[in-house]
Amino acid sequence: MTTPLSPLAPLGTPLNNDAQRLLLLGSGELGREVALEAVRLGLEVIAVDRYDQAPAMTVAHRRHVIDMLDGAALRKVVEQEKPGLIVPEVEAIATETLVALEAEGWRVIPTARATQLTMNREGIRRLAAEELGLKTSPFRFAGTEAEYLEAIEAIGLPCVVKPIMSSSGKGQSTVRQESEVLTAWKYAGEAGRGKSDRVIVEGFVPFDTEITLLTVRASDGTHFCPPIGHRQEAGDYRESWQPCALHPDTLAACQEMAKAVTDALGGWGLFGVELFIAGEADQPQTVYFSEISPRPHDTGMVTMVSQHQSEFELHVRAIMGLPIGEITLVQPGASAVILAGGKSDHPQYAGLDKALQVPTSKVRLFGKPTAHPNRRMGVALTLGDTIEEAKERAIACAQQVQVIL
Ligand code: AMP
C-alpha cells in the first residue's frame, strides 16, 4: 500500500517512486478535467475506461482499458498501480469491489458506500426520501410487469419511468397516457444497463427550473457554489448557466438539502446535487431533491469560465485534503453542448474559427475516438454581463462547430 495522501505529508513527484497516484475510474470529458487539475497539483494520474483513447487517457501518465464492472479486473489494476486515491468518474463500476478495497485500506472518493448508493437510483432515493425525509417526487419501484402496473396505478399519470441503473436519460420516458404505459416499461428494460430490470416510477414534477447545486466537502468544511440552472432534452443537458436566480429562502432550502444528503454520504470531494424548483424567484419556491452525483457534474462544466476555481479544481483540492477557501463567481457564464449528428469512427471538426468569433467564447473538444447520434463531443463556454447574454453567446458558439462524420 502507498503512503496515504495527507495534506500534512510531503507530496512526491509524478513518475518517481514517491509519486502520489490518482486512479481515475472513468475517463470521459469530466474525468479529463479532473486529470488535468490533478496533474497541475503534482499527482501522477492513471486513467481507466472500457475503451481506449478515452478523453482523460490522452492527458494521463498511464492508462488501462478494462471492463470496470468486472470486480476482478478492477482489483488487479488497483493492486498493480497502488493509488493513494481511487476516484470514480462514472456510475457503472463494480462498487462491491470498491467496498472491499476500502475495507482493506484503499481510499475511495468520496466513500465506497457513496458510490454504491448513487450507482443505483433506489439506494439514493430511499436514503434521501425515507431516511433523511427530503421532499422528492412521489415514487415506487418495480421489478416485474405486474409490480410496474401497480406502481403506475399508485403514482398516476403523468409520470416518469427510469431504469434504476441508468444515466443521461437512457431508457427514460415520460408517460402521459395509458397507451404509453407498456412502451415505457419495454424501453426501460432494453436501455437499462442490463444489471437489473428494476425501474423507478416517479410522479411528474411540474417544476419551473432545475438546478445543480455543486457542494464541496473539504477539510475546511462544506462549501456551496452559486446554483447552476440547466435545460435538459431527452434526459441529457443542452445548456447550463451560473448563477441561476433563486429567492434567498429557496437558496437556503437548497443548501440545507444538499448539506443533509452530502453529510449522509460523507467523505471529501465535490458533489452535484440535482434539485427541481417549482415557482418563480420573486417568492419562496418549492424544492424537490432529484438525485446526486458524488463527483463533478456535466452541467458544472460552465464553472471552467464562470468561477475562479472550476468544479474540477475544487474536487481535486477537496480529495487531496486541501482547503477550498472562498468560492467566487467571476461573471455570469453559460455552457452549450456540441453534439454529434450521427455515427463515425473518425469524427472531425469544422467551424472553430467562426465559433471563436463569439465574444468571450472558449471551446473544449473532448477528442472522443468515435461519434454516435447525440454523443457529446465538445462544449462551448462563454461569459456575459447577464445570464441571457452568456446563454445566447454559448448557443451561438456551439452552433458554429460542426462535427463531420
Ligand atoms: P435524471 O436522469 O433522473 O436526472 O432525469 C433526467 C431529466 O429528466 C431531469 O433532469 C428532468 O429534466 C427530467 N425528469 C426526471 N425526473 C422527473 C420528474 N419526476 N418530473 C419531471 N421531470 C423529470
Which residues, judged by CB distance below 6 Å to any ligand atom, belong to the binding site of ligand 1? 137, 160, 162, 167, 169, 202, 204-205, 210, 232, 235, 274, 290-291
Asked whether the beta carbons of 82 and 2 are under 8 A apart, the reply is yes
- Identify the residue whose cell numbers are 416485474: 144
- Does residue 364 have a pLDDT over 50? yes
Kindly state the average pLDDT of the residues 335-358.
98
Catalytic annotation present for 52: no
pLDDT at position 3 is 45
* Domains delineated in the chain: 21-108 (3.40.50.20), 138-203 (3.30.1490.20), 209-404 (3.30.470.20)
Cα–Cα distance, 221 to 138 (Å, whole number): 32
Residue 9 grid cell: 505529508
Cα–Cα distance, 72 to 387 (Å, whole number): 47
pLDDT at position 190 is 86
Catalytic annotation present for 376: yes
**Residue type at position 77:** V
- Does residue 362 have a pLDDT over 80? yes
Question: Going by C-beta distance under 8 Å and a sequence separation of 6 or more, which residues neighbour residue 49?
Answer: 26, 27, 28, 31, 56, 57, 63, 65, 68
Catalytic annotation present for 392: no
**Residue type at position 198:** R
Asked whether the beta carbons of 258 and 212 are under 8 A apart, the reply is no
Average pLDDT, the chain: 95
Asked whether the beta carbons of 377 and 364 are under 8 A apart, the reply is no
Which of 140, 141, 232 for mutating ligand 1's site (highest number of atoms within 8 Å of CB)?
Answer: 232
pLDDT tens profile 95-146? 999 999 999 999 999 999 999 999 999 999 999 999 999 999 999 999 999 9
**Residue type at position 18:** D
